[in-house]
Amino acid sequence: MTICITNGIKVSVASRYEEQHSNPPQGAHIHSYHIVIENNSNEAVQLLTRHWIIMDSELNIKEVRGEGVIGEQPIISPGTSHSYSSWTPLKTSIGKMSGSYQMRKLSNYEMFDVRVPVIILSTDEIRN
């Protein structure tokens, strides 16, 4: 698990290669990831948008921007967390994701970015 902390918001990430859903001869490697966002600040925040840069081992890059995470724009109160799982396809068995969330403080509507730690996407044999 990798961790990043920005403005009191802690983002923890774990990833896994989904062999049963992958089809390597067809260039389809599926990787899942689980993210926990903890609000260790003293203000409620809302996650508004996400931004990902996904790269495989052949340097193919895909950029993803969108509202919320898995269709939600969660409000995270101080001392609480929000978690979710998602997945991404790659053409290769190895890659990485990096990104950020745009959040808003509910007290004054101030916007700020929260960095997500780099997510290593690889088969279990390579990771261990």
CATH classification at residue 71: 2.60.40.1470
Predicted local distance difference test score (pLDDT) of residue 127: 46
Average pLDDT, the chain: 94
**Total of domains in the chain:** 1
Count of residues in the chain: 128
Contact by Cβ (8 Å): 123, 21 = no
Question: pLDDT class for 85, splitting at 50, 70, 90?
Answer: very high
Q: What are phi and psi of 126, to 5 degrees?
A: -80, -40
In the chain the first and final C-alpha atoms are separated, in Å, by: 13
Nearest Cα to 37, choosing from 64, 66, 6? 6
Mean pLDDT value across residues 53-76: 96
Write out the two tokens for 110: 């101030």
Structural domain including 120 reads 2-127
pTM summary value = 0.91
Rounded to whole angstroms, the Cα distance separating 110 from 99 reads: 20
Question: pLDDT class for 124, splitting at 50, 70, 90?
Answer: low
